[in-house]
């Protein structure tokens, strides 16, 4: 065993090609909701207009709608790599189409075949089309930003993004827990689709009830949300005493076992990941933080 | 089960499949709960030595599928095979040294899982053709309108103890009760496809991973708390799902022994009786052993 202390590994960035997705449906258009009613899924992938960071995950009558453009790749293996290596905060540049030159930012990802969700300025998103090509400067997986306690796993986030996230407080002395402000803390039994899947390339759906009439219990796109007793270091699964924090990346879904999804960014024992429930005062990831206003 | 159903109104369909090989990729390893790399058998093909009534966990295995794992080569025909086949349906081997032997379906797991007596299973190999006489989808219970039946052959319903009670509830005998925290991979999927992996059953690993489910057996009838599987697999407080443990040991995190869904509805529509004998082995396997 080496006696030298391990220097922080320097991150590398890779340019990935993403292609703006076109929504797809099967031969039969209907899905069945949790109460047994058929519905036609709108907003599930591709470019979704009229939805932005800060909107309620329940704001639209849609299925898994994400605020921006979903990016994929025609080759399945390249698509998995796109999803696994892209991190929240990574810069996106549109290379083709009417919005060529526009800048976007990765705000999360979705699982199964793999989708990266990128936010853009509304006026630029409005002129984008499926099949437009973008480049993503992917960086973050494997990074350990300074000041995070050993035992806390950081994933799916650009190391540079922490500088603009006031809700994440690192211990001043370099020791002690990281403290994270969240909209709410959800028990593991509400975790849905995404359990048992690799957290570097999937989101975790939360089976949340709709908000109360006064807005209590609402979650906004971009919010930080904690899930207790969930370990997301490898696959996502139950582990007593752990906490996982993710960022809400897409809206609710009528599908049983699905719901608004979070992209996990921090996971570890509760003793080193301190959750502050900020409720109505919480401000999550915003377009302003990403300089997309 | 002393209960009236529409079983006599159902049709049976003759389906075919073949014993499908285990699948792996060139990298081999997958990752366990603590980051352990592993390469373990159990899924696909023919898995020997584990039958209904045997422990579900405690094997050096991942996604243990007891018996023969069956698919159809054509994707659309395979979907029909996976969706229409029900627990308890007969499976007849058509080719190879075990031709003529009859087993029964114990569940689905993206394969149809068929249990046979060990001597029969020893003669089955990947590629053997089987016939499944599928019957059960559409089954409904008279007087229990709130309960939806899934993947359950009419004969299985008749063999299960319990039935309609004077108070209007359905009595079901269960070998184990499963908390909502145990629900893992498979949530969010169709109730007619694959099964629900149960976490908290990693025998021999850390206490922080345990939900007390290490003693489950293959074929156990279990009750899943706060689970609504009527139209897909979801959390719903106050609902209950009855399933049968059709797969065993997992090392992959977020996975575990899995129940295929049989009955689902409001918890108050059920009357549960804890009964260690609530296992497919008690209703199917003895007869099979005799028949051979």
Q: Do A239 and B179 touch (CB under 8 A)?
A: no
Tell me whether B208 touches chain A (CB under 8 Å).
Answer: yes
Distance CA A90, CA A270 (A): 28
The torsion angles phi and psi of B267, rounded to 5 degrees, stand at -60, -35
Q: What is the pLDDT of residue B292?
A: 37
How many domains is chain A partitioned into structurally?
A: 2
- Give the end of a domain, one of A115, A138, A161: A138
Distance CA B44, CA B47 (A): 8
Distance CA A71, CA B232 (A): 28
Whether residue A132 is found in the same domain as residue A167:
no
Q: Which residues of A touch B211 (CB under 8 A)?
A: 238
Q: What is the pLDDT of residue A175?
A: 79
Whether residue A227 is found in the same domain as residue A260:
yes
Q: Residue A3 gets which letter from DSSP?
A: -
Q: Which residues of B touch A110 (CB under 8 A)?
A: none
Q: Do A189 and B186 touch (CB under 8 A)?
A: no
- Could you tell me if residue A147 is inside a domain? no
Radius of gyration of chain A (CA): 18
Chain B nearest CA to A292, separation (Å): 34
- Which residue, B32, B185, B4, is CA-closest to A257? B185
Question: Do residues A189 and A208 lie in contact, with contact meaning Cβ atoms separated by under 8 Å?
Answer: no
Q: Do B228 and A188 touch (CB under 8 A)?
A: no
The residue among B35, B187, B224, B236 with the most chain A CBs within 10 A of its CB, best to mutate, is: B187
Q: Would you call B69 helix, strand, or coil by DSSP?
A: strand
Q: What is the pLDDT of residue A107?
A: 98
- Could you tell me if residue A107 is inside a domain? yes
Domains, chain B, with CATH or none: 9-23+37-136 (2.40.10.170), 148-285 (2.102.30.10)
Distance CA A212, CA A47 (A): 29
Q: How many residues does chain B have?
A: 292
- Could you tell me if residue A289 is inside a domain? no
Q: Cα(first)–Cα(last) distance of chain B, in Å?
A: 26
CATH value at residue A101: 2.40.10.170
B217-239 pLDDT, tens per residue? 999 999 999 999 999 999 999 99
Place of tokens 């299960």: B160
Whether residue A228 is found in the same domain as residue A129:
no
- Give the end of a domain, one of A98, A114, A138: A138
Chain B nearest CA to A40, separation (Å): 15
Average pLDDT over residues B246-255: 96
Which of the residues in chain A have pLDDT under 70?
Answer: 1-8, 174
Q: What is the pLDDT of residue B285?
A: 60
The residue among A187, A237, A252, A260 with the most chain B CBs within 10 A of its CB, best to mutate, is: A237
B124-141 pLDDT, tens per residue? 999 999 999 999 999 999
Q: Do A197 and B254 touch (CB under 8 A)?
A: yes
Structure-token pair, residue B218: 């293959």
B291 or B165, which is more confident? B165
A127-170 pLDDT, tens per residue? 999 999 999 999 999 988 888 998 999 999 999 999 999 999 99
Q: Do A256 and B231 touch (CB under 8 A)?
A: yes
Distance CA A260, CA A253 (A): 7
Residue in A235, A257, A258 nearest the CB of B252: A235
Flag whether the pTM goes above 0.95: no
Place of tokens 């949340």: A208
Listed in sequence order, the DSSP H helices in B74-184 are: 75-84, 118-121, 154-159
B21-48 pLDDT, tens per residue? 999 888 889 999 999 999 999 999 999 9
Whether residue A166 is found in the same domain as residue A117:
no
- Give the end of a domain, one of A98, A115, A138: A138
- Could you tell me if residue A241 is inside a domain? yes
Whether residue A180 is found in the same domain as residue A256:
yes
Whether residue A122 is found in the same domain as residue A23:
yes
Q: Which residues of A touch B235 (CB under 8 A)?
A: 189-190, 192, 207, 257
Whether residue A26 is found in the same domain as residue A78:
yes
Q: Would you call B76 helix, strand, or coil by DSSP?
A: helix
What residues are paired with A277 via a beta bridge? A182
Whether residue A258 is found in the same domain as residue A197:
yes
Residues 6+ apart with CB under 8 A from A227: A185, A186, A187, A188, A190, A191, A204, A206, A243, A244, A245, A246, A262
Average pLDDT over residues B47-53: 96
Signed CA dihedral, A204, A209, A212, A217: sign only:
negative
Q: What is the pLDDT of residue A8?
A: 64
Whether residue A184 is found in the same domain as residue A218:
yes
Q: Do B208 and A197 touch (CB under 8 A)?
A: no
- Could you tell me if residue A292 is inside a domain? no
Chain B nearest CA to A205, separation (Å): 9
- Could you tell me if residue A167 is inside a domain? yes
Q: Do B235 and A195 touch (CB under 8 A)?
A: no
B226: closest chain A residue by CA: A189
Q: Do B231 and A233 touch (CB under 8 A)?
A: no
Tell me whether B31 touches chain A (CB under 8 Å).
Answer: yes
Whether residue A196 is found in the same domain as residue A244:
yes
- Could you tell me if residue A239 is inside a domain? yes
Strands B185-188 and B102-108: unpaired
Please report the number of interchain residue pairs, chain A to chain B, with beta-carbon separation below 8 angstroms.
104
Whether residue A160 is found in the same domain as residue A272:
yes
- Could you tell me if residue A291 is inside a domain? no
Whether residue A27 is found in the same domain as residue A71:
yes
Q: What is the pLDDT of residue B288?
A: 44
* Structural domain harbouring A57: 14-31+38-138
Question: Do residues B133 and B141 lie in contact, with contact meaning Cβ atoms separated by under 8 Å?
Answer: no
Q: What is the pLDDT of residue A145?
A: 85
Chain A nearest CA to B184, separation (Å): 5
**Is residue B199 over pLDDT 90?**
yes
């Amino acid at each position: 065993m080496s006696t030298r202390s391990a220097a922080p590994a320097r991150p590398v960035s890779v340019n990935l090609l993403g292609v703006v997705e076109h929504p797809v449906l099967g031969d039969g258009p209907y899905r069945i909701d949790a109460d047994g009613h058929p519905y036609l899924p709108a907003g599930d992938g591709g470019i979704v207009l009229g939805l932005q960071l800060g909107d309620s995950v329940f704001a639209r009558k849609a299925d898994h709608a994400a605020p921006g453009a979903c990016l994929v790749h025609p080759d399945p293996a390249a698509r998995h790599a796109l999803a696994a290596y892209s991190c929240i905060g990574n810069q996106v540049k549109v290379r083709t189409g009417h919005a060529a030159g526009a800048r976007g930012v990765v705000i999360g990802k979705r699982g199964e075949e793999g989708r990266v969700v990128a936010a853009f300025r509304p006026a630029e998103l409005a002129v984008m089309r499926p099949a437009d090509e973008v480049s993503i400067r992917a960086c973050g997986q494997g990074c350990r930003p300074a000041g995070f306690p050993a035992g806390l796993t950081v994933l799916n986030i650009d190391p540079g993004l922490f500088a603009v996230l006031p809700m994440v407080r690192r211990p001043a002395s370099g020791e002690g827990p990281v403290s994270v402000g969240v909209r709410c803390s959800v028990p593991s039994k509400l975790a849905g689709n995404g359990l048992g899947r690799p957290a570097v390339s999937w989101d975790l759906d939360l089976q949340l009830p709709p908000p109360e009439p006064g807005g209590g219990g609402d979650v906004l796109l971009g919010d930080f949300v904690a899930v207790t007793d969930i370990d997301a270091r490898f696959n996502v699964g139950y582990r007593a005493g752990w906490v996982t924090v993710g960022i809400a990346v897409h809206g609710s879904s009528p599908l049983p076992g699905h719901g608004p999804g979070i992209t996990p960014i921090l996971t570890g024992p509760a003793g080193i990941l301190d959750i502050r429930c900020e409720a109505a005062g919480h401000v999550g990831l915003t377009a302003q933080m990403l300089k997309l206003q | 089960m002393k209960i009236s159903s529409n079983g006599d109104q159902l049709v049976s369909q003759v389906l075919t499949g073949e014993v499908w090989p285990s699948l792996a990729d060139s990298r081999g390893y997958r990752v366990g709960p603590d980051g352990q790399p592993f390469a373990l058998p159990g899924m696909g093909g023919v898995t020997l030595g584990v039958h209904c009534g045997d422990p579900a966990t405690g094997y050096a295995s991942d996604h243990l599928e007891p018996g023969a794992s069956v698919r159809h080569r054509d994707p659309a025909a395979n979907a029909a095979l996976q969706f229409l086949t029900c627990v308890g349906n007969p499976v007849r081997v058509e080719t190879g040294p075990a031709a003529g032997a009859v087993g029964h379906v114990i569940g689905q797991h993206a394969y149809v899982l068929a249990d046979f007596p060990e001597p029969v299973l020893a003669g089955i190999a990947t590629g053997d053709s089987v016939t499944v006489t599928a019957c059960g989808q559409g089954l409904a219970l008279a007087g229990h309108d709130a309960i939806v039946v899934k993947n359950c052959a009419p004969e299985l319903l008749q063999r299960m103890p319990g039935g309609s009670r004077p108070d209007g509830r359905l009595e079901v005998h269960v070998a184990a009760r499963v908390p909502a925290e145990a629900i893992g991979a498979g949530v969010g999927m169709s109730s007619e496809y694959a099964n629900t992996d149960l976490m908290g059953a990693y025998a021999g690993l850390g206490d922080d991973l345990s939900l007390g489910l290490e003693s489950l057996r293959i074929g156990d009838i279990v009750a899943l708390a706060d689970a609504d599987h009527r139209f897909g697999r979801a959390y719903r407080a106050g609902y209950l799902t009855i399933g049968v443990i059709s797969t065993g040991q997992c090392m992959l995190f977020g996975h575990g022994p899995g129940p295929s869904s049989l009955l689902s509805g409001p918890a108050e529509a059920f009357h549960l009786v804890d009964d260690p004998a609530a296992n497919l082995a008690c209703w199917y396997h003895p007869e099979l052993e005799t028949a051979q």
